[in-house]
C-alpha cells in the first residue's frame, strides 16, 4: 500500500503551476476567432509560430516567461493603475530586475 501511495503522488510532482498570463493565453487559444482572410491569417500564424518557437528555444527566456511569479509581476506592471511605478520598483528588485532586463534585451518587454 505504501508503494501505491508513492506512485499516486509521483505524477502530482510533475505538474507545475500555471501563471496568470499563461492561463489567459490558453483561454484565448481555445476560442476560435473567425477571420475574413484565411490565407493572411495562416501566414501570420506561421510567422507567429516561428517567433514563439525561437523564443521558447531559449532556455533563459522560457524559464522567465513560464515562471508564475514573473507572470504576476508582468501582469501588475501592465495594469492601468500605477504600472509604471511598479515597473520601476521591480526593476530595482534583486530577483525580478535582472529577469525583466533579459526580457527587455530580447525585445519582449518595452517601456513606453
Q: How confident is the model at residue 21 (pLDDT cuts 50, 70, 90)?
A: confident
pLDDT at 56 over 80: yes
The answer to whether residue 2 is domain-embedded is no
The answer to whether residue 103 is domain-embedded is yes
The answer to whether residue 111 is domain-embedded is yes
The answer to whether residue 72 is domain-embedded is yes
User: How many domains does the chain fold into?
Assistant: 1
Instruction: Report the pLDDT value the prediction gives residue 48, as an integer from 0 to 100.
Output: 79
Instruction: Report the pLDDT value the prediction gives residue 35, as an integer from 0 to 100.
Output: 52
Three-state SS sequence of 39-92: HHHHHHHHHHHHHHHHHHCCHHHHHHHCCHHHHHHHHHHHCCCCHHHHHHHHHH
Bigger pLDDT: 94 vs 9: 94
pLDDT at 11 over 60: no
Instruction: Report the pLDDT value the prediction gives residue 37, as an integer from 0 to 100.
Output: 56
pTM of the shown model: 0.57
Amino acid at each position: 500500500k505504501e508503494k501505491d501511495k508513492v506512485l499516486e503522488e509521483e505524477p502530482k510532482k510533475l505538474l507545475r503551476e500555471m501563471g496568470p498570463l499563461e492561463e489567459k493565453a490558453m483561454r484565448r487559444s481555445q476560442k476560435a476567432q473567425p477571420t475574413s482572410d484565411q490565407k493572411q491569417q495562416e501566414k501570420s500564424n506561421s510567422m507567429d509560430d516561428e517567433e514563439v518557437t525561437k523564443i521558447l528555444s531559449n532556455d533563459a527566456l522560457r524559464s522567465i516567461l513560464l515562471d508564475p511569479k514573473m507572470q504576476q509581476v508582468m501582469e501588475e506592471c501592465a495594469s492601468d493603475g500605477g504600472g509604471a511605478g511598479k515597473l520601476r520598483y521591480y526593476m530595482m528588485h534583486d530577483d525580478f530586475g535582472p529577469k525583466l532586463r533579459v526580457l527587455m534585451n530580447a525585445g519582449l518587454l518595452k517601456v513606453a
